A and B are shown apart, each in its own frame.
Chain A
Amino acid sequence: MDVTEQDMDAVVAEFYAPLYRFALSLTGSVAPASDLTQETFYRWLQHGTELRDPTKVKAWLFTTLYREFLRGNRRTIRFPHHDLEEVESELPVVDPADVGHLDGRLVMQALAQVEENYRAPLSLFYLESFSYSEIAEALGIPIGTVMSRLSRGRVELRRHLAALLSEEDRKVIPFFQAKAR
């Protein structure tokens, strides 16, 4: 596949926003997420010609972004094994309707607090509706691991969202702002 300027324009237009969101979920802040997104496209420009199947561009971009992120955050993260029963029993109660009232940035903030190894699959799951097999391919981990990380990651996300919602409830809202709500 020969990378032309038109290819580049089209690929950037289609993927820069989802890639940025994925990067934001990984890094937790705007500037590193922007850098990571740009770096991913530069990598694609360099190595796009090696990609024979154009339908693989999306998966390649997400995989590359994740690898770039890991490259910049080299550290071994050990995380405990949890049985499914244990995970489900920990599930904090979070009303989806309450989450619906939150600003997207706050939800992203909660996602960014999730343990790194759970966060990446969870981000692809929510942001791009990647199936577990697509996540496995993109992140280079077994399908079973993806499924358990999704399960565990969702529990963590709920916990962070619950904390966030409780924090929101405790906030003192100026009278006029509250009235306007």
Chain B
Amino acid sequence: MPRPPEHAPRDAPDPPRVPAWRRYLRFWGPDVDADVDDELRFHLQMRIDDNLARGLAPEAARAEALERFGDVERVRAACRTIGHQRESAMKRTEHLATLRQDLRYAARTLRRAPGFTLAAVLSLALGIGANAAIFTLIDAVVLRPLPGIAHPEALVELSTSSISYPAYRDIRDESGAFAGFAGYRTRPMSLSTGDGASVISGGIVSGNYFPLLGVRAALGRTFAPDEDRPGSRIPAVVLSHGLWQRAFGGDSAVVGRTVRINAHPFTVIGVAPRGFRGTSLASAPDLWMTINAWPLTAVGSFTRLDIENTGWGWMQGVGRLAPGTTLAQAQARLGAYIERKRAAGSPTAQFLDDVTIVPARDAAVGLDGGPGLDAFVLLLGAAVGVALLIACANVANLLLARAARRQREISVRLALGAGRGRLVRQLLTESLLVALLGGVAALAVAAVGGRLLARVSLPGGVDFQALGTGLSPRGLGVVAALALLSVVLFGLAPALQASRPALAAELRGTGAAAGAGRGRLRDALVVAQLALCLVLLAGAGLFVRSLRTALAVDTGYDTERVAVGMLNLGLQRYDAERARLFYATLGERLARRPGVTAVSFAATLPLTGNEDVYGFALPTAAGDTATRTSLATDIVAPDYFRTVGLRLVRGREFTARDGPGAPLVAIVNETLARRYWPDGDAVGQRIGIDAPGDLLIVGVARDASYSSLGDVSAPHIYLPLLQRDTRIADDVVVLLRAEGDAAALVPELRAAVRTLDPDVPVLHADTFDGMLAEVLRPQRLAAALLGLFGGLTLVLAAVGIYGVMAYLVGQRAREIGVRIALGASARRVVGLVLGRSLVLVGTGVVLGLGLALAASRVVAGFLFGIGAADPWAMLGSTLLLAGVALVASYVPARRAAAIDPQVALRTEG
């Protein structure tokens, strides 16, 4: 049957022809779309052929074929979709299979080298774990020091120690420096919830405090801005989230309940959100009350508190900058405002002498004097970061050494046609597995480290626990990121190097030449390890030296022989009269105890960062006594100087006769006496405190350290506690002088207080030395942590240099054998190897000292009595590092000297 050529069935009707080039796509893999087209075209063609054979006309044959087939487009689309799905599923399976193969291979190789695996995993676990543990601190102190506060960057604090309430009100209403200005302070308070009383930290805030910070209640409400007006509403408190959980078990029915604070009833109106700690890291309040409610709880020196008194500064000010206002602009406005007030003779200008504005963030982490807590935490962070770098360098070195041993295997695989990419991937999988194991082990290290850190209280009395310990999701993220980063740091270079050997040389078995480049990389890693290790050792050395200096300092007190107890009778609603009686009885009873040679009391304990400051009228050169000078003041009971072992150079101690009603007396220190009466005797002179010349100087005491270690040469005044008994129902320190061991008196002190009044809590009791140890805690902490990491990294660095030297000896065994055969002595051979090691150690030390000197400037603020470049610390750490490194190199050097030339020459290099 003739067929019209225009209907040639070879031209399949549908689907349309595929361009020829598409066929070539199959060169790289199956082309799903073209395959479907071909298959369908084949079917239709066959049907048309059959129809033609049955005698149908070409057109009818084609029509019948299409009719039988149905919707070609739909079928084609369906087939293509299924085909593509199949294709990608296959690719996935293939990738997974490769990965599984790589992982299995990696696991097998790691199992076969347990020593390497253990060393690598442990190095990483310690490095990553330590970083994760410290990260929690960094997160709380540096990254998010003001949690729960809206837009903390616009928040500022007044840097002055404190301002009066009227001054606060004036600044808030008149200065125009801020968009909002709130005031606060914290005081210890006694909280009774029905089942027992506990001492808590109470926040006293202006009504606008919470709105200003942008803090909303998690439950109930916070204060309204006008809620601090005198007598405005019922006395109310807002609980912190922590106290709510602790004391009320998170009961949501707590709102409306009544709690007693210093025995006065308050109504709970709300709970602050979780994480909100106020604006200072050092003193997180457990609850807040408004300023007008505070007098209800008044105890101790605050029994007659009059918040309208302009001469009484007690508040911290926190302000919010108006949008678009800079700190400098606010500072300028505030400065101008204070200037106007002073010019107008306003009493509220008092205490506002050098008011500056600082970001609230800095104030929150700031410590009294010296660098802030954030600097300290960052210092720790840097130390653990360096430790991680060293750990990575160590693992990289281990990997390089392994790669050198596996060079033959790798060469063979390359020669057999393994792709370089495939090989790098294989080696990286091995590193990844090491990092994974290290990361998992790091979680354990971080958990243990976190628990250890939780026991440590940070400088400034910041409790680590309050900052939240344990691994947060952010902490876990950091662990994962560090583990991955470490793979890149330690795995990539060795993998790239290992997969690029000089093939021919390796296969011939003379790989020595090819190892040169790898040797340089290993040298560089070891030098870096040594240098970083020296930085940590030098840091530890600085803190150890600083501690020793601080401990050796003559404070002026006999700290070893004194036991100390801290009480606050005000928390049990003692008034001054009862408190005086309490202490008189306590003193009498304690003085009768065996082993007690003297008993006294003071308002503050020296050297622990606390001090009272009073204004005094002192004679000037012109003889006028009108100007007042603020001076650090110790308020002390009779026998104070005998008890703490401070010598009086002239005059007498306070006695029981210097009580209320008796003439007001004072004792000054040598510096003050010399400064104001350089030619005459200070004893018998008069100075003014409440009225001109109302104080008679009765003694001159030796200079000592006052609020902190080392500040020896400041003028200082002592006043009798019995004549300043506004302080007697407040924080008071009981001091006992021991005949023998002061520690033995600590339980006696507690027992005596308990017998006298079981409800009076002893806030803290220890020996004076023990209290000092608390003060030196940052130094100790830094010395201990840097020492720990320094020691760890020293071990790692020793392992590193040992590895490099052992490798060197192995590579040059033949050469050394020749030298020995030619008559080189064992000493010469040892010298040869040690000389090489000395070059590395020398380079590391020079680099390390440079780094250490640069880094030490950061820690200078934490050091006591020594310079940042303290030669002893630098020299000591250098000698330690060099010594350990040379000992580690000596072992391979001895082995080199013991090489048998016959054996060495017979074996292939």
Pairing of A with B: no
